[in-house]
């Protein structure tokens, strides 16, 4: 019998917790000594790395926020000399400065291992052709997946996003078994297959790992049905590493397993910051356990989810992300996430996953408009039925009345990466 490829996944709970305490101590020390902004925060809070004796003590340490990273722009959060960083990535700042992250050679090595582990969990195997349509560049998706795919022993096609026609051509002609991209882009590529008259089910494609944006179970079903792949959820964020912080197992598809030997998760109440017990919803917070160039302690991701017990491993899982606290829309006083709208849309087989939510204001009230593409051209009567039924389902779900525009196929803007789901035209308060 050959040795299993990723034996770490089968670590025992006792071993895991002991490893976490050991690595947490090392990381706290590294952050305290190397990151002046974090040391200042610890000093203000009256805590020192030596105060950590058990994992529960972590809650006494200050959080790190996106603003902390922005304030340290560009290199103030590096815990090692910049010369020892072999790579930088940055997340596009929609507002203001981008966030910069640095990696040492060892960090890239660890990332490659974890991304290889994620690909394997998702169903990729050495020797597979992997079509990687995540964007290459400052975004961590392209290169992060790329190094992992090479590490696993796959043949990687560094496609990046865009050029829909060629995406289809190369998936077909090279015989990719595995694809990676955002779920919204996968739907756009599914449309392109259709436009070219090619059945994706007749190609070699069997596995898709999707992430970088929230997606619902309805979207998973849609992708699996149209592409004939097993669709798994791949999670990550640049501040913590990039793709490969957590990944679903193809056999269970029950929420991404967090690679807890490298990232310690907590879920906290988004308002008070108090940790909540496993199973309770809240904001996901990560402490890196092995990063050396830029460790982060208690990083507030703003992603809303809950922690669940391990299934394929003792490492805990996270529930599918419902949204980010900063993506939450407040419409006429009601809290609404785009994913909730997506869920209602995809209940109707006549509607596609291409949608956008538009908010505007006439007089004192917010107006909510959901524009969604029909899957195929619909007669006006059928479109009317779909739109009335969607309005009813949305009203039932959140109490809001929405105008629905069932648009013709191909009329809603496609993105090659993270989809833009909301256009908010309301005047800023």
The binding site for ligand DLL (CB under 6 A) comprises 91, 134, 139-141, 211-214, 233-238, 242-243, 301, 303, 321, 324
| Nearest to ligand DLL of 164, 323 (CB atom) | 323
Burial class (CB in 10 A: 0-12, 13-18, 19+), 150: middle
Nearer to ligand DLL, 245 or 383 (CB): 245
- The encoded tokens of residue 379 equal 């007669």
What minimum distance in Å lies between the beta carbon of 175 and ligand DLL? 23
Dist. CA 83–CA 241, nearest whole Å? 19
Q: In this complex, which beta carbon is closest to ligand DLL, that of residue 341 or of residue 390?
A: 341
Q: How far is the CB of 322 from ligand DLL (least distance, A)?
A: 9
Closest-by-Cβ residue to ligand DLL is 211
Q: How far is the CB of 315 from ligand DLL (least distance, A)?
A: 16
Q: Which residues are 283's β-sheet partners?
A: 268, 304
* Shortest Å, Cβ 36 to ligand DLL: 24
Please list, in sequence order, all residues whose beta carbon lies within 8 angstroms of the beta carbon of residue 336, skipping any fewer than 6 positions away: 328, 329, 330, 398, 400
> Among residues 91 and 344, whose Cβ is nearest to ligand DLL?
91
Query: Which phi and psi (to 5°) does residue 177 adopt?
Result: -95, -25
**Hunting for tokens 């990696």 — which residue is that?**
103
Measured from the CB atom, is 238 or 313 closer to ligand DLL? 238
Comparing C-alpha atoms, which of 307, 136, 298, 134 is closest to residue 213? 134
Q: Which H or E run includes 330?
A: strand 329-331
Q: Output the smallest distance, CB 283 to ligand DLL, in A.
A: 11
Residue 57, both tokens: 């003590």
CB of 151 to ligand DLL, least distance (A): 16
User: Closest by alpha carbon to 262, among 372, 107, 100?
Assistant: 107
The Cα diameter of the chain in Å comes to: 71
Q: Which is nearer to ligand DLL, 139 or 249 (CB)?
A: 139
């Amino acid at each position: 019998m050959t040795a299993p490829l990723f034996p770490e996944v089968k670590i025992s709970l006792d071993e895991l917790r002991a490893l976490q305490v050991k690595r947490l101590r090392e990381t706290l020390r590294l952050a305290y000594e190397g990151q002046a902004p974090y040391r200042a925060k610890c000093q203000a809070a009256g805590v020192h790395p030596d105060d950590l004796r058990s994992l529960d003590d972590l809650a006494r340490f200050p959080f790190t926020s996106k603003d902390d990273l922005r304030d340290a722009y560009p290199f103030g959060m590096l815990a090692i000399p910049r010369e020892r960083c072999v790579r930088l990535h940055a997340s596009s700042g929609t507002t203001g400065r981008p966030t910069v992250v640095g990696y040492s050679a060892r960090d890239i090595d660890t990332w490659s291992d974890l991304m290889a582990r994620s690909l394997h969990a998702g169903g990729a195997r050495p020797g597979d052709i992997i079509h990687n349509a995540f964007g290459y560049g400052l975004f961590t998706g392209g290169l992060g997946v790329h190094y992992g795919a090479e590490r696993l022993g796959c043949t990687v096609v560094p496609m990046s996003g865009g050029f829909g026609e060629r995406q289809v051509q190369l998936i077909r002609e090279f015989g990719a078994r595995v694809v990676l991209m955002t779920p919204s882009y996968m739907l756009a590529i599914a449309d392109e297959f259709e436009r070219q008259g090619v059945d994706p089910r007749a190609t070699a494609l069997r596995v898709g790992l999707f992430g970088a944006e929230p997606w619902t179970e309805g979207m998973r079903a849609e992708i699996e049905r149209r592409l004939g792949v097993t669709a798994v959820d791949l999670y990550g964020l640049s501040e913590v590493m990039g793709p490969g912080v957590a990944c679903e197992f193809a056999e269970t598809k029950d929420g991404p397993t967090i690679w807890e030997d490298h990232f310690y998760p907590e879920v906290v109440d988004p308002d008070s910051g108090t940790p909540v017990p496993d199973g309770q919803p809240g904001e996901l917070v990560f402490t890196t356990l092995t990063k050396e160039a830029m460790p982060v302690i208690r990083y507030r991701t703003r992603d809303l989810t809950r922690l669940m017990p391990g299934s394929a491993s003792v490492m805990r899982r996270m529930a599918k992300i419902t949204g980010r606290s900063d993506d939450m829309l407040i419409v006429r006083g009601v809290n609404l996430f785009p994913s909730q709208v997506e869920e209602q849309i995809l209940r109707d087989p006549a509607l596609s996953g291409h949608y956008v939510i538009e908010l505007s204001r006439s007089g004192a009230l917010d107006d909510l408009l959901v524009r969604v593409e029909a899957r195929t051209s619909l007669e006006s009567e059928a479109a009317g039925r779909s739109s009335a039924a969607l309005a009813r389902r949305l009203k039932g779900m959140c109490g809001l009345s929405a105008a629905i525009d069932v648009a013709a196929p191909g009329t809603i803007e496609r993105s090659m990466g993270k989809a833009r789901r909301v256009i908010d035209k309301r005047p800023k308060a």
